[in-house]
Amino acid sequence: FTILGIETSCDDTAAAIVRSNGEILSHVVSSQADLLAKYGGVAPKMAEEAHSQVINQVVQEALDKACMTEKDLTAVAVTIGPGLSLCLRVGVQKARQIAGSFNLPIMGIHHMEAHALVARLTEKDLQFPFIALLISGGHNLLILARDLGQYVQLGTTIDDAIGEAYDKTAKWLGLDMRRSGGPAIEELAKEGNAKSVNFSVPMKQHKDCNFSYAGLKTQVRLAIESKKIDAKIPISSACIEDRLARADIAAAFQRIAVLHLEERCERAIQWALKMEPSIRHLVISGGVASNQYVRSRLDMVVKKNGLQLVCPPPRLCTDNGVMVAWTGIEHFRMGRYDPPPPAEEPEDFVYDLRPRWPLGEEYAEGRSEAR
């Protein structure tokens, strides 16, 4: 069978068509990077408008590239949370409209579950149970995936996510924000000396699997101020000393930000193996997982602990429609879907949107060990 996946939870409008055997027939992403660069962040109303402008085109392109029409689809999957309601709504409306007109079953998908499960599309050997570290602009999650739909949250961030810290650091260092901050920091860090600036690893004293990036952000901001780096001077016009000073901060930030991930993953592996001794894999996904330094550092930690690292290719780590379609496939196989909506929806219909939607139960032992 064949499923269309639609994703509009944040700042990318994405659609993809995937077959149940894992074949990706099309994969279309329209990014709002230009808007982001101009205004320095996502404003919900503006993001909604941008989604509305391109959604029809993005879905049509996904169908065209797959050489299909809606009639060839088996079902539609769409992200219903977590994310910005105004944005989610654009995708859900489009998905229901297609499902209604062509009498197709529909599935509401959890964005973070999709980030995790897409690894099962790219790594056929990946069986439940496994551990997943999901790192992106808005989330920093460590979960134990026991089975489809059965997740235990081992850790989450108590303030910011790592992607947010990358983006802010990039902005304060005057990096090119037409792309997101992450790749810009990754590049610049290669020129810097990571040990030349001392940042401390967050939450050392908390023996749990939670994360915190707000404090590291502040440390970075103070370092930038003390080195008199002016973000208004773009890095492309900075003199060589200035450029190197920025590169050092980028490298030091990245080293500590990732060390924090390494420490938490190591503990999460211990916790998870106690519950599920048959675990063989740790998955990393979400936008930050496309970072090569992150991948290589975590690969060492995971191997050292006797597991294997699985990371989807970068284009499937950042927000995309393939992960939504694939998660739809996993649910559809298990008979978990909603019947087709009516062809004409009443105007006052209330969509099931879940802007805040935890993924699974919290790990109770984690709370007690943390004390």
Nearer to ligand ATP among residue 190 and residue 336 (C-beta) = 190
Does an H or E element contain 281, and which?
Answer: strand 281-285
Query: Which positions from 291 through 350 interact with Fe ion, judged by CB under 5 A?
Result: 319
Enter the tokens of residue 166.
């990358």
The DSSP call for residue 157 is B
Q: Which residues bind ligand ATP (CB under 6 A)?
A: 9-10, 83, 111, 136-139, 163, 166-167, 180-183, 186, 286-288, 290-291, 318-319
Taking alpha carbons only, the member of 135, 127, 68 closest to residue 325 is 68
Nearer to ligand ATP among residue 2 and residue 318 (C-beta) = 318
* Min separation Cβ 36 and Fe ion, Å: 14
311 touches 317 (CB < 8 A): yes
Enter the tokens of residue 80.
């219903």
- Tell me how far CA of residue 370 lies from CA of 268, 307, 367, in angstroms: 13, 24, 5
Helix-strand-coil split of the chain, %, nearest 5: 45, 20, 35
* Min separation Cβ 293 and ligand ATP, Å: 8
* Min separation Cβ 314 and ligand ATP, Å: 7
* Min separation Cβ 109 and Fe ion, Å: 12
Nearer to Fe ion among residue 93 and residue 136 (C-beta) = 136
* Min separation Cβ 43 and ligand ATP, Å: 14
- Residue 208, sorted as left (phi over 0), alpha (psi -120 to 50) or beta, turns out to be beta
Nearer to ligand ATP among residue 167 and residue 208 (C-beta) = 167
The single residue listed with the structure tokens 């190197």 is: 244
Residue 319's Cβ-side half-sphere holds a number of Cα atoms within 13 Å equal to 28
Q: Which of ligand ATP, Fe ion, none does residue 288 bind (CB under 5 to 8 Å by kind)?
A: ligand ATP
* Min separation Cβ 310 and ligand ATP, Å: 17
Q: Which of ligand ATP, Fe ion, none does residue 366 bind (CB under 5 to 8 Å by kind)?
A: none
Distance CA 20, CA 37 (A): 37
167 contributes a contact to Fe ion by CB under 5 A: no
* Min separation Cβ 29 and Fe ion, Å: 12
Query: Which positions from 72 through 91 interact with Fe ion, judged by CB under 5 A?
Result: none
Taking alpha carbons only, the member of 48, 22, 19 closest to residue 35 is 48
Task: Give the number of residues written for the chain.
Answer: 371
Nearer to ligand ATP among residue 45 and residue 207 (C-beta) = 45
Nearer to Fe ion among residue 132 and residue 235 (C-beta) = 132
Does an H or E element contain 4, and which?
Answer: strand 2-7
Nearer to Fe ion among residue 328 and residue 341 (C-beta) = 328
Distance CA 18, CA 77 (A): 11
Distance CA 347, CA 134 (A): 37
Q: Which of Fe ion, ligand ATP, none does residue 182 bind (CB under 5 to 8 Å by kind)?
A: ligand ATP
Binding mask 109-148 for Fe ion (x = CB under 5 A): ---------------------------x------------
Distance CA 132, CA 143 (A): 5
* Cα separation of the two ends of the chain: 49
Nearer to ligand ATP among residue 300 and residue 370 (C-beta) = 300
* Min separation Cβ 119 and ligand ATP, Å: 14
Q: Which of Fe ion, ligand ATP, none does residue 181 bind (CB under 5 to 8 Å by kind)?
A: ligand ATP
Count the residues of the shown chain that bind Fe ion, applying the rule CB under 5 A: 2
